[in-house]
């Protein structure tokens, strides 16, 4: 298995300190802060361990403070309710004695019911699109390493095939919607919770940046100031992270220094597997 993918699986495997207390480590992804998707994935992993019979169907998180990637994170789980069909958990991620994230998750025992879903947009197959690494190499050659953020230069345990150039690398003003195929670089174990934890992790990747697409060069040379405020996921149907998934992302609004983004994740056969939403800080950077 790829060392990067192995590291990610290890990252989402928490150390149990007590019945409802867990510890997770962090990875440097090229920023001064912990990647928000890491805290999402680890908080869901902590909640999963405490639910004996049920599958997560929704999680809602608020980012309170930037995390320190040089220090471990403690996850405290509150078992709020265990019902006949639904169970609820609250998770607080703590670092240096202060909460950095609050997350609430709901779990459901499987049951039969009515079903419908939105239709997957028509986009090119992933094999016909450039990997994000190719975009990265092109921009490095054209703009130089100093103009590309460090986190956009590092290799990832995922393949990303954007339908068009990602906002972090292309400041051209464009419509507030884009699509991206993604999957892990190698096959994963048959552990459904691991796949859901990993989806929570990757769902934060380049998500809020889609809200910058209509504004492009308005942010100036320094680029936008971005930070996630909250993040919600509704898990709908089974999926595998080692098979191609399409992330259809749209930003319906930006106002008052905030950007709002919504995403739908589909299997390659058109099955809707998850719906994601996030609001984040989106400011024009003005040096003090």
* Catalytic residue ranges: 204, 228, 278
SS3 68: coil
How many residues are there in the chain? 288
Half-sphere exposure of 64 (CA within 13 A, CB side): 12
Full DSSP string of 18-32: ETTEEEE-----SSS
Compute the distance between CA of residue 139 and CA of residue 137 in angstroms, rounded to an integer. 5
For tokens 């890491």, the residue is 38
208-232 CB burial, b ≥16 within 10 A, e <16: bbbbbbebeeebeeebbebebbebb
């Amino acid at each position: 298995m790829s060392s990067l993918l192995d590291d990610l699986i290890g990252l989402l495997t928490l150390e149990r300190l007590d019945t409802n207390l867990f510890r997770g480590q962090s990875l440097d992804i090229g920023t001064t802060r912990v990647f928000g998707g890491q805290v999402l994935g680890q908080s869901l992993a902590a909640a999963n361990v405490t639910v004996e019979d049920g599958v997560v169907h929704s999680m809602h998180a608020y980012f309170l403070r930037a995390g320190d990637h040089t220090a471990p994170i403690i996850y405290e789980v509150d078992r709020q309710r265990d019902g006949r069909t639904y169970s609820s958990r609250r998770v607080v991620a703590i670092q240096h004695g202060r909460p950095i994230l609050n997350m609430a998750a709901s779990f459901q025992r499987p049951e039969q019911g009515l079903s419908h879903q939105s239709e997957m947009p028509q986009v090119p197959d992933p094999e016909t699109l450039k990997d994000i690494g190719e975009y990265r190499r092109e921009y490095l050659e054209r703009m130089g390493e100093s103009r590309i953020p460090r986190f956009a230069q590092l290799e990832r345990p995922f393949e990303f095939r954007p339908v068009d150039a990602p906002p972090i690398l292309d400041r051209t003003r464009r419509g507030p919607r884009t699509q991206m195929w993604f999957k892990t670089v190698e096959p994963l174990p048959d552990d459904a919770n691991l796949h859901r934890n990993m989806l929570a992790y990757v769902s934060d990747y380049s998500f809020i940046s889609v809200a910058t697409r209509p504004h492009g060069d308005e942010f100036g040379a320094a680029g936008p100031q971005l930070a996630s405020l909250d993040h919600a996921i509704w898990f709908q149907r089974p999926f595998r992270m080692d098979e191609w998934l399409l992330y259809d992302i749209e930003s319906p609004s930006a106002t008052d220094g905030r950007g709002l983004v919504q995403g739908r994740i589909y299997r390659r056969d058109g099955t809707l597997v998850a719906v994601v939403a996030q609001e984040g800080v989106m400011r024009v950077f003005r040096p003090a």
